[in-house]
Amino acid sequence: MHDFHVGIEHITRVEGHGNIVIDVKDGKIKELRMEIVESPRFFEAMALGRSYREVAHITSRICGICAVTHTTTSIKAIESALGFAPSEQTIRLRKLLLNAEFIQSHILHVYFLTAPDFFRVGSVFGMVKDNKETVLRGMRLKSLANDLCALVGGRHIHPITLKIGCFSKSPRPDDLAAFRERIINARPEIQETVEFFKTLKNPEFERETEYISLTNPDEYALYDGVIKSSDDGNTSPDDYIDRVKEFMVTHSTAKHAKSGKDSYMVGALARFNNNHEQLHPRAREVADELGLKHPCYNPYMNNVAQVVETIHCFEDSINLIDELLSNGVEEEKAELTPKTGRGVGATEAPRGTLYHEHKIDDDGKITYANYIIPTGQNLANIENDLRSLVPGILHKERDDIIMDIEMLVRAYDPCISCATHLMKVKFVNE
């Protein structure tokens, strides 16, 4: 096919509204863009003038899927500005809560948003007739993760127990022990998940790019670490602006980003490429079983990397609960004194590295806020992947071309609404 034009409005089974426009003439791409058409949501502006104690409750509303990560990252930024270090118990509880959010988000994506592509059906409802038990298994595993979020965070969507410095209420040891047994009892369904994804074949496509994630010498970095580039080393989170270079494009209300190259990838595949040796041993086994080898340059395999991370988070949650029970779980308080300062929080969200920066004054009011969302960082890389992909699939039927295009976008698990934030506009007459 030498001439090809497609305008996809809107991309289905992703969060938010985005379009794909591709125009090919004589086998060459004349136009290709991923249009982000949602209005900016101005969360940075909402934070200004607010008390530092309020801001995490505001930023959790950026996303209903990643509310835990946004809350945690905002809190880390405030703690950094105040020079406050939380206790080991608080850190363990935050890590456990993050694990739960990763599991529920990854299960949601791989079971309900991407799996229908492999069966050529429009939604998960099209899978029910022939794969009812598979769908129910996904629902049970997601429910399990939601319950763990609620146990630690008070509720999953917009957690209420997360505070600056501590938790307002700690889970009871008996409840943690009972949940540990629920995870162990779910292992057969977790293995069935692995077996299911062994049967699904991702498109063959490779494009080497820069991969950016947090890294930590002591663990598979989700909660904390320095910023690692697969190309040129590490950067302190305090200097994230030197690593993440945002820019605007005319066809998107969300910013794009680049670093050493003209684009980079964040998310599960980036984390795997940068930190695969630190995965739980069972997760590394699953990676081998699913054909995920380091280094992997196929963005479609991000779905597989999410399955691998799901295994890691389940097993790591057992370890964290054991540590909490061994050390005892106590109610904690944090004494905080507002002061002028700047703090950066960097945490891995399910879709990639998330940055929150806050500046506060002596009264504890927010004077500056900046939030860089994983999907915004991935947008330029998605377009570059498509530019590389499309010429190699033009021999296929039109419907198959469109399917490959949509599958690639969905593989990134984009959260488009989260990416649309504040744009500073300078008017000529100012």
Lowest mean pLDDT segment, chosen from 161-175, 298-312, 406-420: 406-420
Q: What is the mean pLDDT of residues 207-227?
A: 98
Query: DSSP state, 114?
Result: I
What is the model's pLDDT at position 37? 85
Cα–Cα nearest to 358, from 378, 342, 371: 342
Residues 189-207 have pLDDT tens digits of: 999 999 999 999 999 999 9
The answer to which of 88-97, 249-258, 415-424 has the lowest mean pLDDT is 415-424
Helix axes 187-198, 302-327, angle to 10 degrees: 170
Q: Summarize pLDDT for 12-64 with one digit per residue, the tens.
A: 778 778 888 999 998 899 999 998 888 788 889 899 999 999 999 999 988 87
> Residue 428 — very low, low, confident or very high, per pLDDT cuts 50/70/90?
very low
What is the structure's pLDDT at 421? 55
Tell me the pLDDT tens digit for each residue of 120-144: 999 999 999 999 999 999 999 999 9
pLDDT at 365 over 70: yes
- Give tens-digit pLDDT for 274-302: 999 999 999 999 999 999 999 999 999 99
Place of tokens 């429910």: 143
CA distance 259 to 212: 9
pLDDT for the residue numbered 422: 47
**Residue 171: C-alpha distances to residues 90, 100, 144, 182 (Å):** 11, 14, 16, 16
Beta pairing class for 264-265 and 210-215:
parallel
Which tens digits make up the pLDDT trace of 335-360? 999 999 999 999 999 999 999 999 99
Residues near 186 by Cβ (< 8 Å), separated by ≥ 6? 140, 141, 144, 314
Phi, psi of 391 (to 5 degrees): -60, -30
Give the pLDDT score at 6.
Answer: 84
Three-point CA angle 233, 239, 244, nearest 5°: 70
How does pLDDT run across 293-337, given as a tens digit for each residue?
999 999 999 999 999 999 999 999 999 999 999 999 999 999 999
pLDDT value of position 321 = 98
Question: Which pLDDT score is estimated for 403?
Answer: 93
**What mean pLDDT value characterizes the chain?**
93
Query: For 376-428, what is the HEC assignment?
Result: HHHHHHHHHHHHHHHHHHCCCCHHHHHHHHHHHHHHCCCEHHHHCCCCCCCCC
Q: Determine phi and psi for 108, rounding to 5 degrees.
A: -55, -45
Closest CA to 265 of 345, 310, 206: 206
Q: How many CB atoms neighbour CB 89 within 10 A?
A: 19
Give pLDDT, residue 42: 86
pLDDT in tens, 50-90: 999 999 999 998 887 889 999 999 999 999 999 999 999 99
Tell me the β-bridge partners of 353. 348
Report pLDDT for 1: 60
pLDDT score for 420: 65
Predicted model pTM: 0.94
pLDDT at 102: 97
Query: pLDDT tens, 368-380?
Result: 999 999 999 999 9
Please give the pLDDT value at position 87: 97
Model pLDDT for residues 111-124, shown as the tens digit of each residue: 999 999 999 999 99
Going along the chain from its start, the domains and CATH numbers come out as 4-36 (no CATH), 43-419 (1.10.645.10)
